[in-house]
Amino acid sequence: DDIGETFGSLAPSWTKDGKEILFGASDEGNHHLFNIGIKSRKIKKITERDIQIFDYSYNRETDKIVFTYSHPTSPANISVMERSRGKMEFIINPNEQLLKRLRISKPEEFSFKGAKGDTVHGWILKPPNFKKNRKYPLVVEIHGGPHAQYANSFFHEFQILAGSGYIVFYSNPHGSQGYGEKFAKALVNNWGVPDNKDIMNAVDILSRKRYTDKKRMGVTGGSYGGFMTNWIIGHTDIFRAACTQRCVSNLISMTGTSDGGFMMPREFGGPWWKNLDHYWRMSPLKFVKKIKTPLLIIHSEGDMRTPIEQAEQLYIALKLQKRKVKFLRYPEESHGLSRIGRPDRRIHRLKKILEWFDSYLKTKK
């Protein structure tokens, strides 16, 4: 989730005539601009295509909007539109020459039945030189939030894995935004339940594809995606390797150490001291005895959102059980290492993820 994860936070703007408000919102795997009428309350989408808009600037004098956006095969583009016409006019792709020299894979949309029979939206990214008659290792990527979404955006990490010969699967399971309030609220006070069902249903489907080697599957994710990585390998051993990043392992301690700890009682129906057993039941650390999957733990020492004590507790618990685990710590870096970290450390992180999966998924162990 190096540039593609969005939380729908584009600031609203009044239109020139004062009759509408512009705003950005997640919309089924995209991030678009919308108008809402002040009197009519009608909402209209004004951008198009499968894209993720990062930011925009609205000029009230000209009634024009300039915005930056990404799509699955290009990390950054700039376009302009006259709001009244609603037609995007492309200006520039700053990476055009670079992209011509690279092999970029285009993801395929993949929808499937998840928890409660609900349809879940996902994508499959295949290697650029994909061959139908060959079997490939699979890496499952899980987004953070949990109330965020993967978008139709460019992901360096996914492209690197695909370019190295992996099938990459990523999705927006229950709890994700962009699919309605009920879908997003499915995780409230229920972490790791419906989304685990979603992800494992998809893995079951993908493991039966002709091109998937079901004996060589890995799972990874960051933040809440790290929580889910820990949760999954505490409930199944079908993955040969895992990588948990800036993870959550103990909801009780995180409530008191995270800069977002004040939100936990709202998410879980009250503070931990009133429902200690429930907080512990939803903590991946409770299931650490069942974790047998080789695990790479990546965490930043300056992470205030999911403090490094979350990784330390998990690491020590696994070491005491003599499990296969490696702990990679980055000094100075924040929760946003993969997105805004020092460039050399971002590169180092990607190399270590690839090395870890290669060591388990590209051998005959």
Q: Are 67 and 1 in contact (CB under 8 A)?
A: no
DSSP conformation letters of 149-210? EE-SS--HHHHHHHHTT-EEEEEE-TT-SSS-HHHHGGGTT-TTSHHHHHHHHHHHHHHTST
What are the counts of helices (DSSP H) followed by strands (DSSP E) for the chain? 11, 18
Torsion of CA 211, 71, 223, 321, to 10 degrees: 20
Work out the widest C-alpha separation in the chain, in whole angstroms.
67
DSSP conformation letters of 205-221? HHHTSTTEEEEEEEEEE
Antiparallel, parallel or unpaired: β 295-300 and 241-245: parallel
Q: Are 165 and 125 in contact (CB under 8 A)?
A: no
Active site (catalytic) residues? 223, 335
Q: How far is CA 44 from CA 1, 34, 162, 364, in A?
A: 28, 5, 36, 54
CA 270, CA 247: separation in Å to the nearest integer? 22
Q: How far is CA 198 from CA 124, 267, 285, 291, 346, in A?
A: 15, 20, 21, 20, 30
CA 232, CA 197: separation in Å to the nearest integer? 10
3-state secondary structure of 260: coil
CA 345, CA 302: separation in Å to the nearest integer? 14
